[in-house]
């Protein structure tokens, strides 16, 4: 039996550059992923002037066989990308926490919709594209589209005897209750 999921550790590279406004001292952005990376906690990788790149975290990239349609959509983009979900953590040494990496553009969109997280799309390395493509080839099952048919029940027929007993004619619906009360007695 084939496993339902595959997991691969994926390191996330984040670049810190000086902010362009006086309200933001630094600008943080995910710029790369490292397939098969070991554990990391904001390890400095490279420094060019004021710009610094960190190996911020290593998280598992989980591929589920039920999400192969989403992975196909992601691979068919001009630049296949990994979604990196980050959350601001003010008051800490590093103001960004990497919470998730995903190959599903649908899941990345869901996190964008909440507005609480920052989602960056990072280009996939070729080896990762090949791994995801192999996973899709092994697990993808095309769903057959079935058009829904309407019921043949007639809705324009009169429903005699149903409803409120005080309503005898259409005009009774719009009458004030005290006038309708006189009609019932």
pTM: 0.72
* Tokens coding 164: 């409120």
Q: Which residue has the tokens 């979604």?
A: 83
Quote the distance between the C-alpha of residue 85 and its chain's center. Answer: 10
**What angle, rounded to 10 degrees, do the helices at 68-75 and 126-139 form?**
140
| Average pLDDT across the chain, whole number | 84
More confident site: 121 or 114: 121
Report angle CA 69, 73, 76 to the nearest 5 degrees: 135
Mean pLDDT of 122-131: 93
The pLDDT of residue 109 is: 92
How is the beta sheet containing 118-123 ordered, strand by strand? Answer: 96-102, 81-88, 118-123
DSSP 66: G
The pLDDT of residue 94 is: 79
The pLDDT of residue 2 is: 64
**What angle, rounded to 10 degrees, do the helices at 105-114 and 68-75 form?**
90
Distance CA 116, CA 114 (A): 5
Least confident of 8-12, 20-24, 42-46, 148-152: 148-152
140 pLDDT exceeds 90? no
Quick: pLDDT tens for 37-87.
Answer: 888 888 888 999 899 999 999 999 999 988 989 999 999 999 999 999 999
183 pLDDT exceeds 60? no
Distance CA 26, CA 28 (A): 6
105 pLDDT exceeds 80? yes
Residues found in the chain:
185
């Amino acid at each position: 039996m084939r496993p339902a999921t595959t997991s691969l550790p994926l390191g996330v590279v984040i670049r810190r550059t000086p902010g362009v406004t006086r309200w933001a001292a630094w600008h943080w952005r995910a710029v790369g992923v490292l397939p098969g990376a070991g554990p990391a906690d904001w390890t400095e990788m490279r420094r060019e002037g004021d710009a610094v790149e960190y190996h911020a975290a290593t998280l598992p990239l989980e591929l589920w066989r039920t999400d192969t349609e989403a992975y196909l959509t992601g691979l068919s983009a001009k630049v296949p990308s990994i979604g990196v979900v980050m959350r601001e953590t003010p008051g800490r040494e590093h103001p960004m926490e990497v919470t998730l990496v995903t190959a599903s553009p649908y899941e990345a969109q869901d996190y964008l919709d909440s507005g609480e997280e920052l989602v960056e799309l990072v280009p996939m390395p070729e080896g990762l594209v090949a791994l995801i493509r192999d996973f899709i080839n092994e697990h993808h099952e095309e769903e057959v589209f079935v058009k829904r048919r309407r019921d043949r029940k007639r809705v324009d027929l009169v429903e005699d005897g149903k409803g409120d007993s005080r309503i005898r004619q259409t005009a009774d619906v719009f009458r004030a209750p005290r006038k309708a009360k006189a009609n019932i007695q």
